[in-house]
Amino acid sequence: MDKVIVTIIGAFGIVFTYWFFLFKKEKEVQANGSIDIIVDGGYSPSLISLEVNKKIIINFLRKDSNSCLEEVVFPDFKIKRYLPLNKKVTIELNPSKKGEYSFRCGMNMFHGKIVVK
């Protein structure tokens, strides 16, 4: 009986893990000119949309002491910046092509996305 219960709970755990981590829907935030991103256990907001050929100023504020998040990298724009704790860091982008541009932490564990429309 124990085994049946453990198996059922385990199966439920697997489905839950899959749903919880891999089926999340990001809330897209429309950026107009500038946007503040709080870095705390990830990026919020982590999905930003903007119009092509419009300059955007992104202000990062790291509140998380985890060293994983201490750097933010925009590989497509060749930007890598150190984010000091509790200090605003401004990054300016001017995407000239439509598409999706990801950004991530230095160790590639946390991700965000900029959708240029």
Partner 1 sequence: MANLKKSFSIKGMHCASCVKVIEKELSKTKGVVSANVNLATEEAFVEFDPKLTSDAVICSAVSNVGYKALASEDKTDKELEKKEKEKEIKTLKKKAFISLFLGGLILWGSFPGIVNFSPVFLRNFFVQFLLATPVQFWAGLAFYKATIPALKHRTANMDTLVAVGTSVAYLYSVFITFFPNIMLKMSIEIMPYFDVSTIVIGLILLGRFFEARAKGQTSEAIKKLIGLQAKTARVLVNGKEKDVSIEDVKIGDIVRVRPGEKIPVDGSIIEGESSIDESMITGESIPVDKFKGDRVIGATFNKSGTFLYKAEKIGEETMLAQIVKLVQSAQGSKAPIQRLADTISSYFVPIVIMLAIVTFVIWFDFGPSPSLPFALLNMVAVLIIACPCAMGLATPTAVMVGTGKGAENGILIKDAQSLEISHKIDTVVFDKTGTLTKGEPEVTDVISLSYDLKDKILFYAASLEKGSEHSLADAILKEAESFKIKLKKVDKFKAIAGHGIEGEIDKKMIYFGNRKLMEREKIDIKKAEEKLSKLEEEGKTSMLLAENKKLVGIIAVADPIKESAKAGIDELSSMGIETVMLTGDNERTANAIAKKIGIKKVLADVLPEDKKIEIEKIQENGKIVAMVGDGINDAPALVLANVGIAMGTGTDIAMESSDITLVNKDLRSVAKSVRLSKLTMRTIRMNLFWAFGYNIILIPVAMGALYPFFNILLSPIFASAAMALSSVSVVTNSLRLKGVK
Which residues contact partner 1 (rule: CB under 8 A)? 2-3, 6-7, 10-11, 13-14, 17-18, 20-22, 24, 40-44, 46, 64-68, 70, 73-76, 78-82, 84-85, 87, 89, 106-111
Distance CA 63, CA 43 (A): 11
Min CB(47)–partner 1 separation in Å? 11
Question: Judging by DSSP bridges, how do beta strands 79-82 and 71-74 pair with one another?
Answer: antiparallel
- The dihedral of CA 89, 45, 20, 115: what is its sign? negative
Question: Residue 39 CB, nearest distance to partner 1 (Å)?
Answer: 10
Beta bridge partners of 104: 73, 111
State the Cα–Cα distance between residues 103 and 47, nearest whole angstrom: 10
Distance of closest approach, residue 55 Cβ to partner 1, in angstroms? 18
C-beta of 51 vs 90, nearer to partner 1: 90
